[in-house]
Amino acid sequence: FQNVGLTSSVYKAIIHKGFKVPTPIQRKCIPVVLQGDDVVGMARTGSGKTAAFLIPMFEKLKAHSAKVGARALLLSPSRELALQTQKVCKELGKYTDLRSCVLVGGDSLDDQFSMLASNPDILIATPGRLLHLMVEMELDLRTVQYVVFDEADRLFEMGFAVQLHEILSRLPPTRQTLLFSATLPKMLVDFAKAGLQEPTLIRLDADTKISRDLEMAFFCIKEVEKEAALLHLLRNVIKLPKTTRNKDDGSDKKKKKKQYKQSATEDDRQTILFAATKHHVEYLSNILIMAGYQVSYVYGSLDQTARSVQITRFRTGVTNLMVVTDVAARGIDIPILENVINYDFCGSSKVFVHRVGRAARAGRRGWAYSLLTSDELPYLVDLELFLTRPLVLGNEKDEIDYTRDLSVGTMPKDALADDVTWIQNKVASDAEMQGLVSTANNAYKLYNRTKPRASPESYTRAKELLKRKAWKDLHPLLVNEENSSAMELERQQMINMISGFRPAETIFEVGQRGTRKISPATSMMRERRQNVGKMIGAFKIQTAEAEAAEDAAIQKAKEDARNNKEQQVIADLGDNVAEEELASTFNIPSNKKESKPKSYRDEEFYISYTQKDANTERGYAMNTSGNFMEQAGKAQLDLIGDDNDTIKSKQNQLRWDSKKHNFVKGTGIGSDNKKMIRTESGALIPASYKSGRFDEWTKKTRTTIPRAGELELPSASHKAQQRRFKHTRTDDAKPLDPLAFDYDKKMKKRKRADDESGSTPNDKNNNNKRSKVAMGQRRVGGRGVASELKNAGQIRKTRIQQGKRKEKSARAPKKGKGGKGRR
């Protein structure tokens, strides 16, 4: 950072934060951004993208401007990511007087009005709430010089395209725009609406996609064994402790506050668990709490206050297991995260990269565990093509490198049986758990219907993998002395044979043996067996030969690996002689055998029918081919009429409104002269709609905000520094009990404190200081009691008021009142 040429305030904050050397994305982005160019940056999650756009921002803005108007705008897809950006922004800008504020949904509008009235330099916002405030306050963004789209692909995927287009239309054309994301397609067609001008593309880690320090394991189980497999994984593989170092018992408030200042360590084995829907999050969190684990949970529709509490408990180590959904977890930054568990396997390779990218950050090692059913196997094949890493089933390899191989295996059936029974008993004995299970099952059906499909080739290869013997092998992580003995292996093989047993008779032939009169269905099946019996036998022989060849190839590969390892060990035992000296002394023959080429194609002129990195781009694609309706919508050909009559008939075409249960005209988005936008709650409202909340706030607080470009009010700096909440309550201290055993000790302590504070009511030089407090009583709120002695002005004022009252009471009564005086 010394060679970048940063100002002293920014460099001092960077060193104080602990950054010494910039990450690759920072090393490439910061100089380009400081030149004023638009940038599209791509790097993995946890590579330092936030600092890559915050450091140049502080360098450009330098100090607070007295002119009204924000100068930097940072857009985030979620509230957690916006709050995380604000945290880093405060740390890097601690030696500057720049002001920043967070505008996210779920917070009070009045508080956000107050923050905007303090003339902040930096706005960190989500698109929905920012657009709401722009319409409500008629917020002018013409002064914005620096715009950042953090997690840009997620912004567009979450349906913020309309809001982004509306926000960009209100920004000045001279702005500098930056797009940062973990995944970006090569073709920037999806981001053309962002309005970049000749951007510089900085794409890092395009080959690795995920961290090299991340180890992955995949477990194949049945759907009914998922919860039991999760408990077995936490207990025997991860060995997650059920008690945490910072466990909160709520008994001591002072101790509780101290604990929250601490952060989680590697000993806590922080683990994050991804589930499909929020109903799964509620169900799994209850199951894990019943099992004795310290659990936090977060999902999209959770209240903002509860969400902040749950994240803080996990980040500070009060809990060591967090259950989340994909939507809620985007942008949650956990400094030390060791394990990621995919309870429901994701339907997109890009989502998998975002999930597992939270572990193995900043040079640390981490694990990613995934639970797979047979229906989810095609998505694993897609992931294999996307990551270009080999798929290893069971014990096909003696030594598995979990950072390079995708290791797949099963869990021991007998170990899961007890957990399955325990979960069934817990659910059966609790009516609330039964409701959660049924709700989660219904939500999972809808989740599967809306999940994008894998490629057709992956479904074909998944069927082939299911037929292989190694598919039912135990996972290497679970192989130990107990389940690796010869008797245990034979028992496991017998169980696999029983589970794969197929009877010789079909259902049409059951009970027909030894009977003279057979049914027509039985005779039909016997005739069919005679006709296709030879083909079935040939297919079985072919399958057996293929399995034998596969086993032989696996055995040969294992032997070659052992031989290579032995050769390396033997070579290491010799003297260290340079290769040049060996070549000059001996005539060393080449070990490479001249083998036949695998392909006769000319690599220079050959044109493939697919793109070179088609699998990678398919994983990064934002618009994946999902259900039939999406595919049919893309294939639809809609032509515009060539005369006035056909054009008008197209505009007046009827469509079915599912809410009104009737045919209506138009698109349903709004009339031609009314632009509709979607708020942060998802409701469609006119773009010019104002609720009047800001006008009410200005009348209530008697505050006026100058226009953009004008000088700020003197009260703006005061509003920026004031605390949102201030406790003003003070309670009188209880008098000391003379019969208490420590009465003398406390009296001496208070007397000493009074002597140190110093002043008396008669001290002329200390009239404004607090007076001495009576012995045996404590000062309230750390301040002395106000003096009861009045000065000359107060005495004069009191006498005048008393004289007026006396004159008024001695006044003659009004006529018609009966002379009885005032009533």
pLDDT tens readout for residues 229-263: 999 999 989 988 887 766 554 444 444 444 444 55
State the DSSP string of 701-768. HT---PPTTSBPPTHHHHHHHS-S-------PPPPP-TTSTTHHHHHHHHHHHHHHH---TT-GGGTT
State the DSSP string of 275-331. -SSHHHHHHHHHHHHHTT--EEEE-TTS-HHHHHHHHHHHHTTS-SEEEE-HHHHTT
- Give the pLDDT confidence score for residue 715 in this predicted structure: 67
Task: Please provide the average confidence, as pLDDT, over all residues in the chain.
Answer: 76
Which two tokens mark 164? 């982004």
> What is the rounded end-to-end Cα distance, in angstroms, of the chain?
84
Quick check: 557 pLDDT over 50?
yes
Which two tokens mark 708? 């953009």
Quick check: 122 pLDDT over 90?
yes
Mean pLDDT of 568-587: 45
Q: Is 258 exposed, middle or buried (0-12, 13-18, 19+ CB in 10 A)?
A: exposed
| Least confident span in 32-41, 254-263, 498-507, 699-708 | 254-263
Q: What is the DSSP letter of 521?
A: H
Angle at 285 between CA 327 and CA 472, to 5 degrees: 85
- Give the pLDDT confidence score for residue 371 in this predicted structure: 93
Helix (H) or strand (E) holding 532, with range, is helix 520-573
Q: Residue 121: beta bridge partners?
A: none
Quick check: 93 pLDDT over 70?
yes
pLDDT > 90: percent of the chain = 16
Number of helices (H), then strands (E), in the chain: 28, 19
pLDDT tens readout for residues 439-456: 999 989 888 888 888 888
Q: How far is CA 812 from the centre of its chain?
A: 81
Q: Backbone phi, then psi, for 704, in 5-degree steps?
A: -125, 140
- Give the pLDDT confidence score for residue 311 in this predicted structure: 87
| Least confident span in 168-182, 310-324, 682-696, 727-741 | 727-741
d(CA 51, CA 56): 9
813 within 8 A of 822, measured Cβ to Cβ = yes
Q: Strand 321-324 vs strand 295-298: parallel, antiparallel, or unpaired? A: parallel
On the question of a common fold for 2-206+691-719 and 214-499, the answer reads yes
211 within 8 A of 361, measured Cβ to Cβ = yes
- Give the pLDDT confidence score for residue 618 in this predicted structure: 63
Q: Backbone phi, then psi, for 139, in 5-degree steps?
A: -70, 130
- Give the pLDDT confidence score for residue 700 in this predicted structure: 87
**CA-based nearest residue to 376, from 400, 411, 405, 342:** 342
Q: Where are the domains of the chain?
A: 2-206+691-719, 214-499, 511-537
- Give the pLDDT confidence score for residue 446 in this predicted structure: 87
| Least confident span in 17-31, 161-175, 211-225, 506-520 | 506-520
Give the residue with greater pLDDT, 576 vs 225: 225
CATH T-level assignment (fold) for domain 214-499: Rossmann fold (3.40.50)
Strand ranges in 133-233 using DSSP code E only, listed in sequence order:
146-150, 176-181, 200-203, 214-220
286 within 8 A of 259, measured Cβ to Cβ = no
Helix (H, G, I), strand (E, B) or coil at 662: strand
458 within 8 A of 267, measured Cβ to Cβ = no
Residues near 655 by Cβ (< 8 Å), separated by ≥ 6? 663, 664, 665, 666, 667, 668
CATH T-level assignment (fold) for domain 2-206+691-719: Rossmann fold (3.40.50)
- Give the pLDDT confidence score for residue 781 in this predicted structure: 47
pLDDT tens readout for residues 44-78: 666 788 889 999 999 999 899 888 889 999 999 88
Task: Compute and round to an integer the Cα radius of gyration of the chain.
Answer: 37
Q: What is the DSSP letter of 771?
A: P
Residues near 241 by Cβ (< 8 Å), separated by ≥ 6? 268, 269, 320
Which two tokens mark 20? 């010494």
Q: How many CB atoms lie within 10 A of CB 325?
A: 22
Residues near 229 by Cβ (< 8 Å), separated by ≥ 6? 219, 221, 371, 411, 416, 419
pLDDT tens readout for residues 356-380: 877 877 667 889 999 999 899 999 9
d(CA 685, CA 130): 15
b/e map 478-489, b = 16+ CB within 10 Å:
bbeeeeeeeeee
d(CA 773, CA 12): 47
**CA-based nearest residue to 415, from 229, 224, 223:** 229
Sheet strands side by side (includes 391-393):
295-298, 321-324, 271-274, 339-342, 366-372, 214-220, 406-410, 391-393
d(CA 460, CA 42): 33
- Select, from the ranges 163-177, 392-406, 593-607, 681-695, the one with the highest average predicted confidence (pLDDT): 163-177
Instruction: State the alpha helices, DSSP H only, in 18-141.
Output: 24-34, 49-61, 79-92, 109-117, 127-137
Q: What is the DSSP letter of 627?
A: S
- Give the pLDDT confidence score for residue 641 in this predicted structure: 40
Which two tokens mark 100? 């920043």
Name the band, by pLDDT with cuts 50, 70 and 90, for residue 281: very high
Place of tokens 């380009």: 32
Q: What is the DSSP letter of 408?
A: E
Quick check: 124 pLDDT over 60?
yes
- Give the pLDDT confidence score for residue 56 in this predicted structure: 92
Quick check: 405 pLDDT over 80?
yes
Which two tokens mark 73? 């705008």
pLDDT tens readout for residues 767-801: 444 444 444 444 444 455 677 888 888 999 999 99
Name the band, by pLDDT with cuts 50, 70 and 90, for residue 502: confident
SS (H, E, C) 469-514: HHHHCECHHHCCCCCCCHHHHHHHHHHHHHHCCCCCCCCCCCCCCC
